[in-house]
Amino acid sequence: MEAREVSNQENIDSKRPGGVALAAIWLMISSGASFVSVLMSGNFSGLSIALMAFSVIAFLTSFAAIALKKWAYWVFLALVVLLGLNNISDVMLWGLGVSPDQEFQISFITSILIPVAITAYFCTQSVKQAFGVDWGESN
């Protein structure tokens, strides 16, 4: 039985596109940082608790994405899109002249461009095949 599990793990590792693990690690770090920042602030309002719940879901989904669970594909994609949409406020603040330019450049790369790149990457054929997801496309 143990040999079969090792064999299955090797199959998963061989078919997992490298970017999936990288994206999952990015989401783990992002969600972990959000969780820790809420804990350190000591402010446990409704919004803070919602952010902590989002962080836990994102963290757990990252592990499932590394294991190529089919459900994790859709949850991971939804979380990354929500994260990107949430961070558009940085662009709005910069447009209003509220955010300093250097701070905006770093924030823009990490909060907007990375989620857009991950979303585009997860829409590629190789990633969809690895997760076993079919969008109803005919070949």
Position 137, amino acid:
E
Written as six digits, the tokens of 16 are: 């997992």
Left if phi > 0, otherwise alpha if psi is -120 to 50, otherwise beta: which for 68?
left
| pLDDT over 60 at 9, yes or no | no
> Is the pLDDT reported for residue 4 higher than 80?
no
Select from 42, 46, 116 the least CA-distant residue to 80: 116
Residues 6+ apart with CB under 8 A from 25: 62
Contact 54, 34 (CB under 8 A): yes
Give the residue-averaged pLDDT of 16-24: 89
Between 43 and 107, the more confident residue is 43
pLDDT tier at 10 (50, 70, 90 boundaries)?
low
Instruction: Quote the pLDDT of residue 105.
Output: 64
Whether residue 7 is predicted with pLDDT greater than 50 in this model: the reply is no
Question: Is it the case that residue 20 has pLDDT exceeding 90?
Answer: yes
Query: To 5 degrees, how large is the angle CA 21–CA 40–CA 55?
Result: 35
In sequence order, which residues have a C-beta less than 8 Å from that of residue 38 and are 6 or more positions away?
44, 48, 51, 52, 55
